Amino acid sequence: MRKLKDIKNTIIKGDTIEELKLIPNHSVDLIFADPPYFMQTEGTLLRTEGTKFSGVEDDWDKFDDYNDYDQFCKEWLTECKRALKKDGSIWVIGAFQNIYRIGFIMQNLGFWILNDIVWSKTNPAPNFKGTRFTNANEIMLWCTTKKEAKYTFNYKTMKHLNGGKQMKSVWEIGLCIGKERIKNEDGKKAHATQKPEKLLENVILSSSKQGDIVLDPFMGSGTTAAIAKRSGRNYIGIERESKYIEVAEKRIAAEVVQKDNPLYNNVLDIAPPRVAMEKLIEKGYIKKGEHFYTPAFKKAAQVMANGHLKDKEESLSIHKMSGKMRDLDNGNGWDYWFVQRGKEFISIDSIRKDYRKKELNFTDFEIK
Ligand SMILES: C[S@@+](CC[C@H](N)C(=O)[O-])C[C@H]1O[C@@H](n2cnc3c(N)ncnc32)[C@H](O)[C@@H]1O
């Protein structure tokens, strides 16, 4: 076994199955795997105007048959499961050629699928011959090692990245082109399957924390490591080909760590400390017996020393009483109730924020 400190933030050169076997048990937090797809492309693919389209023709994508491919996937996935921490998670990207085989193998190995994310390509390569639909998506299986795992999911960070709406399992992202696409000195693509940074940003930001170790067993041009470094995570890469390791190392060296970026440090997903209404009364932020008002500023209930509200009929928690006002079984009282201060009505949530700031030294974070 290798020592984690010796391989943290390095790319290991070698065969992934052999090298994965040397990663200590339950030592990595997140795995992103972009394995060979076994595309089985044959012959030259020509664009309609006659120029050659360069797809994936590399030797690393060749296998004898499906048995050979399945055996390879079973072996590297088994090692990934062993290397993952018990609450870690793994993403495997593939396409129609291989993802159904990979999903079957993963479920048989005991992985638990959380999502199958569709990467919907905004700029797919056309179907040049017009013999099939334009193939415009790839799939990422996001899995834990078991159903009960308490995996990381930075829900609020992703919601923010999605313009304030819950992020869906279909991601519209363009293929890696233009300045982002790494070229060799001859102007040709340095790697046939360089993944877009935005894809890896979504993966890493959603399912890991700063300081975590992200392992990529098929490192290629180093997209995973670049985003891991940028966002304050550690990486371990495995890659067989020296020419790709060279490209990746140069790329990683040029990355600047942005630890304080609020999207990268997941500050949105740090849960604020809980505050009981009783505590606000005890500390004088809310007065025992004062009136609570509805969002239409209608006097509706009075607060008691134990933090419950009473109306003419009964006493209920702030949540239950807010539900009662709307003929619901329950509600969120913090978002509903107002109290009067001078001539103004202010929400009890803003009083709670004030308490957290002054008494607990905690400021709720908002990205402008
Ligand atoms: C699909 S590409 C990964 C591309 C990468 N995600 C990127 O953004 O550049 C797969 C990579 O795995 C490497 N590879 C394939 N089989 C391997 C093996 N058995 N051991 C180590 N590396 C392997 C290939 O050389 C190739 O660079």
Please give the model's pTM, rounded to 2 decimal places.
0.84
Q: How far is the CA of 363 from the centre of ligand 1 (A)?
A: 44
Residue 170's pLDDT band (boundaries 50, 70, 90)?
Answer: very high
Atom number of ligand 1 nearest to Cα 223: 8
3-state class of 142 per DSSP? strand
Interval 315-352: pLDDT, tens: 999 999 999 999 999 999 999 999 999 999 999 999 99
Candidates 15, 58, 60, 197: which one to mutate for ligand 1, based on the most atoms within 8 Å of Cβ? Answer: 60
Interval 131-147: pLDDT, tens: 999 999 999 999 999 99
- 98 in ligand 1 pocket by Cβ < 6 Å? no
Q: Which candidate, 178, 235, 231, 187, places its Cα nearest to that of 31?
A: 235
Interval 185-206: pLDDT, tens: 999 999 999 999 999 999 999 9
Torsions phi, psi for 239 (to 5 deg):
-155, 140
- 16 in ligand 1 pocket by Cβ < 6 Å? yes
Q: What's the pLDDT score for residue 91?
A: 98
Q: What's the pLDDT score for residue 48?
A: 62
Q: What's the pLDDT score for residue 83?
A: 98
- C-alpha angle 212/214/216, rounded to 5°? 175
Structure letter (DSSP) for residue 221 = T
Q: How far is the CA of 220 from the centre of ligand 1 (A)?
A: 5
With a cut of 80, say whether residue 148 has pLDDT above it. yes
